[in-house]
Structure formats: C-alpha cells, structure tokens
Amino acid sequence: MSNELKNRYDFVLLFDVKDGNPNGDPDAGNLPRVDPETGNGLVTDVCLKRKVRNYVGLVKGEKPPFEIYVKEKAVLNRQHERAYEAIGVELTGKEGKRKGGDRVEDARAWMCKNFYDIRTFGAVMSTGVNCGQVRGPVQLTFARSVNQVVPLEHSITRMAVATEAEAEKQEGDNRTMGRKFTIPYGLYRCHGFVSAPLANQTGFTEGDLSLFWEALANMFEHDRSAARGQMSTRKLVVFKHESLMGSAPAHRLFDLVTVTSGDSPAREFSDYTITVPKQSALPQGVTLLEMI
C-alpha cells in the first residue's frame, strides 16, 4: 500500500499553561501533578492521549474509520460485539463466547480498521468479548515542566446553594465556599515515538499520521475550561528517519532540542529560548521538521 508508513518518527512537543491546572491528581484532591523531589510539574501520557482522541472525534464526527474506542461513558465490550457481528460470528453466553472457529484476529483487524485510537495508541480488548490486543505505533511520555512549578490554592465563592436545606441553614445568605488549584505558569515538554513496523500491523497510515500532527497542534483549542486556564501547543519538532527502523537513537535526537530560561520565574512563553538543531547537526538519515 502506498499509504503505509515507511519512516520512523520521534518528536518533541512543548505546550504551556497559564493560571490553570493542566492535569489534576485525583489522589491529591485534584492538585496539579508535581514531582515531589524536584518540584517539576507533570502531565500524564493518558491525559494527552485523551485530548488527541477528543480532537479527532470532533473533527471526524465519530464515524468509521475514525471512531473513538476509549471515550466518555463507553462500554467497551459492546464495541467488541460489533466486531463479531461485522465478521458474521454469532455471540452467545454471558461472557460472549463465540460459536465456531477462533476469529479473534479477524475481530482485532475490524477494530483497528474502524477505531482511530486503537490503530494509533493500541488497546487491550480481551475483556469479556475477546478481540485480542493491539500494540500501538504511537506512544507518548509523561510531559514534565522545564522549570519547577508552584501550585496555588484559591478560595472561591458561589452565590448559590444546591438545596433548600442549605438555604435555610444559611438564613438566605446562599453562599457556597470552594477551592481552586492552579499554577501561575508552566512550560511542559513531552517526547513521542512513531513506529513504522507497528503502524503497518495496525493499519495506521500516512493520513492517520497527518491527523495526529494536526491533533497535537490544535488539541487545546477545543479543550477550554475554567480549571485549565490558557493552554497552548507552542512547539512541535519532528525527527523523520529515512528508514523503517530508524537511523539514530531517539535520546540523541531529543538532546539536540534545548529549552532555557533566565533567572527570574517564567510567566510567559517568551521567557524561554528554544534551540532547534540545524540539518547539518543531525545524524545521517534523519530530517528535522518544525511543524510549529
């Protein structure tokens, strides 16, 4: 297929947040995630994948071959059942046991074909109705802030209450106190990888890859909320390898992209200096693409 991936890719993603909470930790009262030893802010890979899924779902209207498998209120086994119905296998029994031969690979292929996030990020689909497992060609690291971040706690007031009982207790004052957590500013750096051999196993195409770059560039534009403040993708640097397996180790390429700031606490993206290597400084067989 001419649309198959023939190149490995590694990339550096920089995004920032101002006066917001980029990724709350439910185990810490929704405080911004922080490395306790260094004070650097963290954003999980799962959080970033969620934003890519949401963007693709909005742009493509949740229609095959761009349906989203992991989404709000999804019942995953129902999607597995659809796969077997599509390949003509009747499911019976409480656990969805199949009649006839073993068609897991056929069901797996159907799931990859119809769901963008499965052929991109992979999935474990062996729960109940078994559609196998998929190793995704696209993987992301945790994003880590370049500098330390300082989580702030803000008291907020809502001029309303939820129930009549609360109103009577407050004698008509009707105020509800709450808390909101933010960081003043943080520039976060994430690394990512695209494996061409795995992409060709799941059916992840050049068109899917272009949509992925688009999603990284625009995923915060339709993810606004009072909690997240102003978030933006600031830089996307992609290293394209000439070969299927790659021409240089990813860590060597990542080290070529440096981010520095002054002595004062950063409060704007302009407080940082981003240095991207020239083509002459790259290992042989690697091309640099500045998407943003």
**Per-residue model confidence as pLDDT tens digits over 33-91:** 999 999 999 999 999 999 999 999 999 999 999 999 999 888 898 999 999 999 988 87
CB count in 10 Å sphere of residue 277: 16
Residue 162: predicted pLDDT: 76
Tokens 């649309």 identify what position? 3
Say if residue 65 is preceded by a cis peptide, omega within 30 of 0: yes
How big is the CA angle at 49 (ends 192 and 63), to the nearest 5 degrees? 120
CA angle, 203 then 121 then 139, to 5°: 115
* Interatomic CA distance for residues 21 and 185, integer angstroms: 10
Q: What token pair was written down for 176?
A: 């509800």
Nearest to 82 by CA among 53, 119, 114: 114
Which is it for the CA torsion 161, 163, 164, 165, positive or negative?
negative
Q: Are 141 and 192 in contact (CB under 8 A)?
A: yes
Average pLDDT of 177-195? 93
96 φψ region: left (φ > 0), alpha (ψ -120 to 50), beta (else):
left
Which secondary-structure segment (H or E) carries 196?
Answer: helix 196-202
At 1, is the pLDDT very low, low, confident or very high (cuts 50, 70, 90)? very low
Residue in the block written with tokens 């006839």: 100
What CA–CA distance (Å, rounded) separates 292 from 274? 12
- Assign 123 a pLDDT band (cuts: 50, 70, 90): very high
Rounded to whole angstroms, how far apart are CA atoms 237 and 152? 31
Chain mean pLDDT for the chain: 91
* Neighbour-count burial for 176-190, b at 16+ CB within 10 Å, e otherwise: eeeeebbbbbbbbbb
Q: pLDDT-based confidence at 94, cuts 50/70/90?
A: low
Evaluate whether 170 touches 161 at the Cβ level (below 8 Å).
yes
**Amino acid 101: pLDDT:** 47
Joined tokens for residue 106: 């056929």
Contacts of 46 (CB under 8 A, 6+ apart): none
B/e letters for 135-147, b = 16+ CB within 10 Å, e = fewer, are: ebbbbbebbbbbb
Measured distance CA(240)–CA(66) in Å, rounded: 25
Q: How confident is the model at residue 261 (pLDDT cuts 50, 70, 90)?
A: very high
Alpha-helical segments (H) within 91-174: 104-114, 116-121, 164-169
Model pLDDT for residues 131-157, shown as the tens digit of each residue: 999 999 999 999 999 999 999 988 888
In angstroms, the CA 257 to CA 274 distance is 7
Owner of token pair 């990542």? 254
Q: Encode pLDDT of 200-255 as tens digits.
A: 999 999 999 999 999 999 999 999 888 887 999 999 999 999 999 999 999 999 99
Nearest to 196 by CA among 141, 144, 266, 247: 247
